[in-house]
Homo-oligomer: A and B are copies of this chain.
Amino acid sequence: MTDAPDAAAPSAYTGVETYSYLGPAGTFTEAALRLAPQAQGKPWKPVNNVNEALADVTSGRSVAAMIAIENSIEGGVTASQDALATTPGLRIIGEYTVPISFSLAVRPGVALEDVKTIAAHPVAYGQCRAWLTTHLPGHTHLPATSNIASAGSLFDEGLRVDAAITPPNIRERIQVDVLAEGIEDNKTARTRFALVSMTTTLPPRTGADKTSLIVELPEDRPGSLVQMLEQFATRGVNMSVITSRPIPERIGRYRFVIDLEGHLHDARVADALRGLRRYSPHVIFLGSYPEADGTPVQVEGNDTDEHYAEAEAWLASLERDPDGLG
């Protein structure tokens, strides 16, 4: 149940198409990477935390990294947001969500009534509290460094571990019996992951896209945020996420992490970004990419590309006579 800080030797990943992720193999982050079509069949590199993953990308050691950006069981969300706000050139090129579910795994042949000591990552342990209190009231918790290390410890005789809390697909990796599935308290929890790269080529528009931004306000006063959001509202652009975060160096100033519905290639999104660029002292474009759930964006009112093209044609028509009076 120990873990070397750099288990993966960087030299193994010098080829062009390596993908970094929070390891070891078997984590929820790896499950997210399995959902990214472009990563399949390429070398994958497990790393220890978000900063290592992003350093692989900015240095060119990897073409992309999968990082958690919301509700992560494996930590790192704040680090992800801060890294995206401060590392120039990073782009989100895909979004994936993974349901967070846990199983109780044992060595083959061990029965539930024999379980006394349970190995588990502390956060995973905290999320299975209700099930454990009901079914194993007198157990002892032995912490593990990851949701995979917990299962590995079942076979470390020195540790005397009887059961482990593991991801649902643990039997693909380790020969264990699963005594119970879905033991997590919150059955609807999902973690949202982003595939991050240094490219400036955008994923093609699919009609079910999202655009991520980080925006600062010009001043801290009532109405300043409203005016910024009007840049979206007047273009018919809907938001799915907004989160204020204090700017560390500047007391009382905030940046906003924002997800818009739509793609930079949607006329209304491009127009909103033009307005935002003028309004805000600092805008970071983090990318346009397909939404994890593929729900097509509903554009209400007069804000489709056709409406934008019609308005542009109307504007041009206002001046079409070259021989007028002047």
Which of chain B's residues have a CB closer than 8 A to the CB of A135?
none
Interface status of A143 (Cβ within 8 A of chain B): yes
A226 touches B229 (CB 8 A): yes
Cβ contact of A278, chosen from B1, B93, B303, cutoff 8 A:
B303
Q: How large is the interface on A (under 10, 10 to 19, 20 to 34, 35 or more residues)?
A: 35 or more
Q: Given that A222-B233, A230-B226, A230-B234 are contacting pairs, would A48 and B126 also be in contact in the complex, using a CB cutoff of 8 Å? A: yes
Give the residues in chain B near A2, CB-CB below 8 Å.
Answer: 117, 140-142
Question: Is the pair B234, A244 in contact by a Cβ cutoff of 8 Å?
Answer: no
**Oligomer copy total:** 4
Bound state CA distance, A170 and B78, in angstroms?
26
Whether A319 contacts B202 in the complex (CB less than 8 A), given A143-B143, A314-B277, comes out as: yes
Give every chain B residue within 8 A of A109 (Cβ-Cβ).
none
Report which residue of A140, A239, A273 has the largest number of chain B beta carbons within 10 angstroms of its beta carbon. A239
State whether A145 touches B145 (Cβ < 8 A).
no
Residue A220 lies at the interface, judged by CB distance under 8 Å to chain B: yes
CB–CB B321/A200 < 8 A? yes
Can you list 11 A-B contacts (CB < 8 A)?
A: A2-B140, A2-B141, A5-B137, A71-B78, A143-B143, A200-B318, A200-B320, A202-B318, A222-B238, A242-B242, A271-B271
Name A residues whose Cβ lies closer than 8 Å to a Cβ of B: 1-5, 38, 48-49, 51, 63-64, 71, 75-76, 78, 93, 117, 121-123, 126, 129, 132-133, 137, 139-146, 188, 197, 199-204, 220-223, 225-227, 229-244, 248, 252, 254, 256, 264, 270-271, 273-275, 277-279, 285, 295, 300-303, 307-308, 310-312, 314-315, 318-326
